[in-house]
Amino acid sequence: MTVAGRKVSELARAKVNLTLEVLGRRADGYHELASLVAFADVGDRLDLTESPDWSVTCSGPLASSIVGENLVERAARAVRGQWAHSATGRIELHKTLPVAAGIGGGSADAAAALRALMALNADLRDPPAWLSIAQNLGADVPVCLTSRLSFMRGLGERVDGVAMDVRLPAVLVNPATPLATSRVFANLAAQPLPNNHVPADLPRLHSRGDLFDWALAGRNDLEAPALRLAPVIGRVRAALQFCHGCLLARLSGSGPTCFGLFETSAQAEAAAGIIARGQPDWWVRATTLG
């Protein structure tokens, strides 16, 4: 995040679910989750310029993919609803992340808007209120608000940062096939959450090796239903698995984006090049997760 005068710029980093467990369906119809979440160094860019009136405009190669109300607009409206006289302005979103992709593009954009508005309104120091706004915008928005390696639980409202500075070379691959989260959860048909449910424990992660071990031993419970709805996910995952140096290939979120973890950045860059040349219509990015 940078602030120049009354201008703020934020990177809406792509969210990657290294693991994602669906613990059950609650009585209210929502799902209890436990997920280890990392963030990429690629994302959308959000620029906020102070102005008496707020507005949101979108540009970039994937701006036309946004259908309906942008979550950034909802975020700005929610802040003004909470604090009628809060400073606001013109928001410009440069969209480079695919939508309905399982990497939190819209949620990351909304979180970036909240961070930018927080920077513009330093006098409004009310963390619970900002967190409440994030929670009301969507399950992934609270963890995207922190935009750092975290363990997410509940409906997404319980976010615990992982106190470790780690960088994981990775490749993100999206087959340009949008997949709605609601369809994936409906296809999952999760069992009701047990009455004696106990919240998941926090993982004990102290090193890069611990993080890899946890990810390798974990799973994404949405992978099977997503694969049934979008069989191309199998091709995406296989493309990553077959690349030299890939340690783990898995679906992120509800998909259809898959990620591959690699031992070195050079291996990740090489893998991204191979996949992009073989599938020029896919969205492919070498990145670093942390």
Nearest alpha carbon to residue 36 among 66, 16, 65: 16
Set out the domains of the chain in order of their start, with CATH numbers: 2-161 (3.30.230.10), 168-289 (3.30.70.890)
Q: Indicate the pLDDT class of residue 237, thresholds 50, 70 and 90.
A: very high
Q: What is the DSSP letter of 231?
A: T
- Residue pair 278/42 in contact (Cβ under 8 Å)? The answer is no
Q: Which amino acid is residue 135, in one-letter code?
A: Q
Q: What is the DSSP letter of 64?
A: G
Asked if residues 19 and 35 have their Cβ atoms less than 8 Å apart, the reply is yes
The b-or-e profile of 91-103 (16+ CB within 10 A means b, else e) is bbbbbbbbbbbbb
Q: Which two tokens stand for residue 71?
A: 């979550």
Cβ distance 94 to 60 under 8 Å?
Answer: yes
Cα gap 272→260, rounded to integer Å: 10
Q: Report the pLDDT averaged over residues 204-230.
A: 95
Whether 20 and 220 have beta carbons less than 8 Å apart is answered as yes
Active-site residues, by number, are 15, 140
What residues have CB less than 8 Å from 213, skipping those under 6 apart?
none
3-state secondary structure 130-145: HHHHHHHHCCCHHHHH
CA distance 53 to 86: 11
Q: How far apart are alpha carbons 249 and 98 in whole angstroms?
A: 19
pLDDT tens digits, residue range 168-215? 999 999 999 999 999 999 999 999 998 877 776 788 898 999 999 999
Per-residue pLDDT, 2: 57
pLDDT (tens digit per residue) in 100-148: 999 999 999 999 999 999 999 999 989 999 999 999 999 999 999 999 9
48, 85, 102 from 255: Cα distances, Å: 30, 39, 4
